[in-house]
Structures are given as structure tokens and as C-alpha cells.
Amino acid sequence: MSLYHAFSPEDAIAYAKSITGFFAANALLACEEIGDGNLNLVFRISDPQQNRSLIIKQALPYAKVVGESWPLSLDRARIEREALEIQHQLCPELVPAIYGGDNELAITVMEDLSDYTILRQGLIDGNTYDNFAEHIGLFIATTLFYTSDLGMNQQDKKLRSARFANPDLCKITEDLIFEDPYRNADNNNFTEDIRSEAEKLWQDHALHLEVALLREKFLTHGEALLHGDLHTGSIFVTSDSTKVIDPEFAYYGPIGFDIGAVIANLLLNYAAQPGWCDNHDILQERRAWLLSTINGVWNHFEQNFRKLWDANGIDFMSKTPGYQDLYMRKILQDTIGFAGCKVIRRIVGLSHVADIDTIESELHRRQAKITALEIGKRLVKQGRMAASIAEVIEWAEAAAAKEGANV
Amino acid sequence: MSLYHAFSPEDAIAYAKSITGFFAANALLACEEIGDGNLNLVFRISDPQQNRSLIIKQALPYAKVVGESWPLSLDRARIEREALEIQHQLCPELVPAIYGGDNELAITVMEDLSDYTILRQGLIDGNTYDNFAEHIGLFIATTLFYTSDLGMNQQDKKLRSARFANPDLCKITEDLIFEDPYRNADNNNFTEDIRSEAEKLWQDHALHLEVALLREKFLTHGEALLHGDLHTGSIFVTSDSTKVIDPEFAYYGPIGFDIGAVIANLLLNYAAQPGWCDNHDILQERRAWLLSTINGVWNHFEQNFRKLWDANGIDFMSKTPGYQDLYMRKILQDTIGFAGCKVIRRIVGLSHVADIDTIESELHRRQAKITALEIGKRLVKQGRMAASIAEVIEWAEAAAAKEGANV
């Protein structure tokens, strides 16, 4: 009989007290549930007098976003905690500390980041984060290099890969990103004013071919332990710090998938800009910052990954002249293709982004979707031939240049 | 405390008697150990009066080929039995029946195939097997299709993949096939008369680059549950029947690896022919039969795989026009590259093939090695650009045409 039950605030406080040495024994603890409640409960437990706090995250046995009918394995809490522990060990500055957890209860106890802003909200609010590209580039390069066959014992990697099989969460990605947007699926979710655009996606066989190739990579290429859901809602920021959270989708997959997720979400914010900026100059400036951040994400990733490879690569054959260049080119192409898939699914698929959906003007909202689809399709279709991140910048600028006079 | 102990013949008989309903309770059983003893004990238990027999295969905790210093997980007995069960279910005519087994004792009890010949020996003896290409093409296509994301539930596949992580046995492949032949490794094993050829392999960076790419596929591309060691010593034949045994190297890897193994071992026999045939016409005829068999292996594989895909494919996106052709092309290229690696390693690496090593004439033996290396290098270097199995045939013929007048 499982011990699992969804925590009440009182349960969360009692559990927090059981974490040795964190709160004083006689502390008066407060608790608030701060999760968005789609997949998890998130309790913030605090001792206001000592100004100490922590987070207890508990997995729910279903995905609320589609009702209780989409059951999800509670084992994802173990996967998330184990991934966080690996990532924290590799990048202690960029991942919250883990204080404990319990597999049966599906909980993880971790550092409270209440001083941080969710990057997606920070971007919607018009903020800039000039260290973000450097931080995330370092995070991606470090966590992926040291969990790949290039940077860790190749036999241990196989055993680790087995611990992160994660079928339930991968299924969400496989359906929502790599299939539903390309057919008239029940789970799709788009406004009627872009129906013709959605229908074009269902008919576009050249697009489908590239998506099929990317889907195959997602299904079969176990290159590194991915975060697996690295959108701007999984990243906390301040002006000088970045923390990556929520790796419950972690599994061994293609390296470009994580980088693509970051870039896709920056591009979605890019597409949304006219909905947030009245002032043409400010709009141009924000868009330029977003594109420069995309450029920076890739370049910091690439520089760090190559540096780790040269200094700490464990694979004799991987030191063959020319191989690293081919490998980086492949990651770039994968990154661009995956970014495109992730942009497209946020417009016509089940789950959207606030960057676009909260734009007040219907006209601007529609234009943002059109621009995003324009960029997304180009990334998917041309990613396999791309040679440089500059092409992504160019395609984003070209899509913006096509926006109507009403924007 | 583990129950494991290496079986004596008496242990094997006692265990065989415990298999319900196979032997009569009062049967007088005979037992002989018929394994080559490198990695496993193989007992044949028979009741001569009833003309019934079975095989008990037990894994040893080390690889004897390099002394007891290379420990091997006994879990490979479970992996082998589970792989045999899956393969037997998919291809009952082409895989021995499994009667039982025990994970702690690392044993599998299975159908006796004493009426069969090991294909490698049959080929050395100058026999032809005209159904072999059709049988093995069907085996590879069926077992790989139905264990891949194309033909089985994609979530079950992830869990199955975790059960077949198989790090110990993969390590042997990674070292002996994808690394040692390309450096001056202690485990290499070649005769002095081809030292200059071996040294050329260590310096050939264009070759290393292709090997590095193939090694990466072996390490990261979990396409289907491979047999993992499908050389002609793992295949039993009669004039009209084929049985595939010994899948202890089974793991989720690139589909081309299994097909490449079959083709490589046919090519090694091809290279060895002048050592076995005095008569030019017979030599030409045997070589033509071997090349036609290689052609047949690929074509039967491809036809069956495409047929299964069209009829029983479970993946919506995989039905995109053009995708299957790209996929088959990739498998062909992988097949050729892997075949090349497997040819090369049998000449300079730790483990050789009897087809070549038992050639009596030193001159012919050396020439066979030179021809094999010539073919192997070309397969590795040009595989990534190949468009048809006909190219392999052509390269094999070209290598034969270069053989010296002394052959």
C-alpha cells in the first residue's frame, strides 16, 4: 500500500520540520501553496522570525491541464530530484540546493528562490538580463557534457540512462511537440483567427519530413541527460543570477533539444514584442537584445562545450581532428530544428506561452502568432542545412520585416 | 550470498531433470560440455534412448579470451535469455525455443541444435546456404522493426531499453571494434607481416573520423533491440533452416550494426577464399555466391522492413512521404560503415575469425588480411556517402582484383 497522499499545508509544515537542522525546533512556520497546480503542488515553508524558508514540491498523479484523465507517474519526482542533484553538483551556482526528498511521497525539498523572478515573466515585463546568456550557456554545456559519452564513464552513463527512462513525461513531449501540431488532433488548441495557418501545418509534407527526423532524434538519440523542458518558465533570474529548476522531463536525449528550448522561448517573446511595445525604437531595441541573447546562448554553449571537450574529454576517438567540428555542427542543426518545433507547438498545440496569449490587442496577438509560425517553420525546414546561429537571427529579422503595417 | 557456482556436468544433469516434462523421471541422461569456453559453459544433456536433448548455457563471470582479468557481469545471462525470448516470439522458426533459466545461476535452458552447423564453419567447409540470405534478412527486419519506435509502443520501448542497458558487453564492442584497432593498443593482435598495415590504421585520420561517427552511433542511437554480435559464429544453419543464437550483447543500438555484422563476416570469408580454393573457377564461383548472399541479406532485410513499416507502423509521423526512404538510406550507410569496422577489427584487433586464421599458406593468409583491410577501410570511409548495396559488391570485387599474382 503506497504512502502517497497529496500534502495539505499542515503536512508540508510537518515534513519541513523533519528536515534536520533547517528550522529551529520551536519555530513558528508559515506555509503557502504557490504552484500553478498543473502537475505539482509547491509549498513555501518559512520561519519569518529567522528569515529562513524552503520549498517542498510534490508531484500530483495526473496532469491537471487536461483534467485528471492524463495520469502521470509519481516516479517523475524521483527523476526530477536525481536530475537536480546531478545538475547542482555540476553547476552549484545555477541550480537550487536540494535538502531532501521522498520517493513514495513524490516530494523534493529544496532551496527557496522567492527573491527570483521567473524569466518568462521578467521578459514579459520588459526586463533585460545581461548575464543570462552566459549563465544558461554554461549550464547547458556543463550539464550535458558531463552526462554524455564525451565527459563521463560510458558504462556508468548506460546505467544512468536506464534510471532516467521517463516514459510518461517523454510521451507528453512526443505527442504535444512532435505530432499533434501536424495533424488535426483533439489536443490542439488555437484561436479561429489562425485556423488557416494551423491547417497549412497539417498539409505541409516538407515540414512533416523534418519533424519526423527530429522526432526520431528525440526518440532514439541518447546523447546526454537533458533537462527536457528548458523553457523560460523553468528558469529563475535576478539581475545577476540564474537558477534552473523543474527537470522532471529529464531523460537521455539529443543535446540540441535543451538549447532549442531556450532559443524557442526567446523567439516566442521576440514574436510577441509588438504586443508589448508601443514605441518603435523600444521595440527594435528589445528585439535586438533578444536576438543578441539568442546568439549569446549558442555561443556561450559552444565555447564552454568545446573547452570542456578539449580539457576533460574521456573518449579517445572523439579527439580525432575534425570530429568536434562535425559534432558541433550537428548540435547546431538539431538545436535550430527543435527550436522551430517548440515555437510551432506553442501557437497551435495544447500548451501556449503567456508572452503571446496575454497580449491584449487581438490584432497584435494574431500577428505575434503569425510571426512565430513563420519563424518556427523556417527553423524546422532549414535547420538541417544550417551552418551558423547567424542564420536564426537572420530568419527572425526577416519574419519581423514581413509583419503588417498594423503592428 | 549468491547461489552462483559454475556448473559441473552433474549439476547440469540435475538441473535438466528439474525442467518439468522434458525428460522422463527415470531417464539416464548423458552430458557433454561443448562450449568454446571463452565466456560461457555450454552443456548438452541428452536422453539417448528417447532421442531427446537440450542445452544448458551458463555464463562465466569473466572473459577467458583475455584471462580471468576481464570480469563480465553475470547479468548478461538474463539479457541473453530475455533477448532470445523476444526474438523467438517474433521469429519462432529462426530462434531456438527457450525451456527455462535462472538469473542467479546465470543459466538458460534451450533447444538443442546439434543437427545444425555453425555458419562460419559451413562457409569454411565450402558449403552454400541458399536460403540463408532470406532467413537472416527476415530475422533482422522482424526483430529490429518490432523492437523499434516504428513497431512497438514507444513508452514500453523506453522501459525495455532500460532492461537491456548491458554496459559490460557494450564495453567489449566499444573497445575492440571502435577504438583499439585505431591506436597501438595492448589488446591488438596481429601478425608481424601486416604490422605496416596496422600502423597505417593508427595514422589514418580520415578513417578515424568515420569510426568516431560510427562509435557515436553505437554509443547513443537506441533504435532497436540489437542482437549485438551477429557474426557467422552466432548463426546455426542446415541446408534449409537458420537459427540465430547467443544474443548476450543485446542492447538498444543502431539497426545497421546487426546487418553490418552479417555482411562483415561474409566479406571476411570472401577475403579468405584464395586460401581455401585452388581452382580459379571454384574460387570465382564461391566469391560470386558470397557477394550475391550479401546483396540478398540487404535486400531481404530492406523489403521485409519496408513491408512491416507500411503494414504495421505505429508512428503517425513516420508515415510522412519520403521519410522511409531517408531512414532506409541511413540504415544502409550505417550498415556499410559498421561492416567495415567489423572487418578491420577481425584482422588487427583482439579477436580474429577462423575463416582467415586457419588458412594454411602464410602467403595466402597474409593476402586475405590485406584484402580484408582494403575492403574494410573502403566501407568505413565511403559508407557515409553510399546509396546502394551494389557499391559494397563493387568495392569487394575491386579489392579482389588488386590481389597479387601469388594468389
Instruction: Render pLDDT for A268-318 as a digit per residue (tens, 0 to 9).
Output: 999 999 999 989 999 999 999 999 999 999 999 999 999 999 999 999 999
Cell numbers at residue B59, please? 555464463
What local confidence, expressed as pLDDT, does residue B406 receive? 47
Strands (E), B90-234: 98-102, 107-111, 117-118, 224-226
- Name which of A266, A259, A276, A287 is nearest A397 in CA terms: A287
* Per-residue pLDDT tens over the stretch B53-90: 999 999 998 876 655 567 888 999 999 999 999 999 99
What are the residues whose beta carbons fall under 8 Å from the beta carbon of B47, sequence distance 6 or more? B23, B24, B27, B28, B29, B30, B53
Report the C-alpha gap between A304 and A310 in whole angstroms. 10
Is A248 annotated in some ligand binding site? yes
pLDDT digits (tens, 9 = 90+) for A377-390: 999 999 999 999 99
- A316 to A303, B171, B253, B334: CA distances (angstroms): 21, 14, 20, 21
What is the average pLDDT score of chain B? 95
pLDDT one-digit tens code per residue, A35-78: 876 789 999 999 999 999 999 999 998 876 655 567 888 999 99
What cell numbers appear for B6 in the block? 559454475
From chain A, the residues in CB contact with B222 under 8 A are 220-222
CB contact under 8 A, B205 and A322: yes
Q: What percent of chain A has pLDDT over 90?
A: 92
Nearest CB to B162: which of A162, A205, A316? A162
The Cα–Cα gap between B404 and B388 comes to 28
Please give the sequence-ordered ranges of beta strands (E in DSSP) within A141-287, or none if there are none: 224-226, 235-237, 242-244, 251-253
List residues in chain B touching A: CB distance below 8 A.
149, 154-156, 158-159, 161-163, 165-168, 170-171, 174, 178-179, 182-183, 205, 208-209, 211-213, 215-216, 219-223, 251, 315-318, 320-323, 326-327
* Residue B104 burial (10 A CB sphere; 0-12, 13-18, 19+): exposed
B320·A178 Cβ contact <8 A: no
Alpha carbons B14 and A284: distance in angstroms, whole number: 83
Cβ distance A149 to B219 less than 8 Å, yes or no, reads: yes
Question: Domains, chain A, ranges and CATH?
Answer: 9-111 (3.30.200.20), 117-401 (3.90.1200.10)
Q: How many other C-beta atoms lie within 10 A of the C-beta of residue B180?
A: 20
With pLDDT > 70 as the criterion, what percentage of chain A qualifies?
97
Query: In Å, how far is B203's CA from the nearest CA of chain A?
Result: 11
pLDDT score for A65 = 60
Contacts of A305 (CB under 8 A, 6+ apart): A141, A144, A145, A328, A331
Segment B92-120, tens digit of pLDDT: 999 999 999 999 999 999 999 999 999 99
For residue B20, the model assigns a pLDDT of 86
Long-range CB contacts (within 8 A, 24+) of B281-289 = B286/B126, B286/B128, B287/B400, B289/B128
Report DSSP state, residue A403.
S
Task: Cell numbers for A96, please give them.
Answer: 537550487
Residue from the list A155, A167, A168 with its beta carbon closest to the beta carbon of B171: A155
What is the structure's pLDDT at A35?
A: 86
Per the CB < 8 A criterion, the answer to whether B261 and B109 are in contact is: no
Mean pLDDT over B265-286 rounds to 96
Minimal CA separation from A385 to chain B, in Å? 15
Residue A164 has pLDDT above 60, yes or no: yes
Chain A residues contacting B, CB < 8 Å?
A: 149, 154-156, 158-159, 161-163, 165-168, 170-171, 174, 178-179, 182-183, 205, 208-209, 211-213, 215-216, 219-223, 251, 315-318, 320-323, 326-327
Q: Which residues of B sit in the known binding site for ATP?
A: 40, 57, 111-113, 246-248
| Rounded (10°) CA dihedral A316, B337, B341, B61 | 80
Chain A closest-CA separation from residue B10 CA (Å): 36
Distance of CA B31 to the CA centre of its chain: 27
What average pLDDT does the segment B280-308 reach? 97
Nearest Cβ partner for A167 among B155, B165, B166: B155
Neighbours of B159 (CB within 10 A): 13
Confidence of residue A235 (pLDDT cuts 50, 70, 90): very high
User: Residue B74 corresponds to which cell in the numbers above?
Assistant: 553475470
Best B75, B76, B154, B158 residue to mutate vs chain A (most A CBs within 10 Å): B158
In this prediction, the answer to ipTM > 0.90 reads yes
Higher pLDDT, B61 or B316: B316
Tens-digit pLDDT profile for residues B163-205: 999 999 999 999 999 999 999 999 999 999 999 999 999 999 9
Contact A209 B326 (CB under 8 A): yes
pLDDT band at B14 (very low <50, low <70, confident <90, very high): very high
Query: Which pLDDT score, from 0 to 100, does residue A58 have?
Result: 96
pLDDT at B123: 98
Q: How many helices (H) and strands (E) does chain A have?
A: 14, 11
Instruction: Give contacts of B156 with chain A, Cβ < 8 Å.
Output: 167
- pLDDT band for position B398 (50/70/90)? very high
pLDDT(A407) > 80: no
Q: Could you please report the per-residue DSSP string of A39-78?
A: SEEEEEEEETTTTEEEEEEEE-SB-TEEEETSB--THHHH
Residue A105 is predicted with a pLDDT of 96
Is A229 annotated in a binding site? The answer is: yes
